[in-house]
Amino acid sequence: MLHKTTGKRRDIAIASPPRRRFVSKKSLAQHFELSLRSVDRLLADGTIRGYRMGPRALRFDLDEVEQTLTQSVVDYGTRREVD
């Protein structure tokens, strides 16, 4: 881009979106220490989202799944008094 008055070029920093880290079902299961059936269940009930990369390949965004799973963790540390 050129400066209006001087006509000299100036560089503009443009932030690029973060790159997605797509992984296979097997890699996802290993990363989170889950079984392949657990990954299938999470996909079937809509907890996590899979992306088709061609007619057969299904991939998962590792950062997206990590964010989803950490938000769904329930805090069991609180106690309630029972009368």
Measured distance CA(43)–CA(60) in Å, rounded: 10
Residue 4 CA neighbour count, 13 Å, CB half: 0
Single pTM value for the model: 0.65
pLDDT digit string, tens, across residues 17-76? 778 899 999 999 999 999 999 999 999 999 999 999 999 999 999 999 999 988 866 555
- Please report the pLDDT score of residue 61 as a whole number: 95
pLDDT digits (tens, 9 = 90+) for 1-11: 555 666 666 66
Contacts of 48 (CB under 8 A, 6+ apart): 39, 42, 60, 64, 65, 68, 69
Pairwise pLDDT comparison (77 vs 14), residue with the higher score:
14
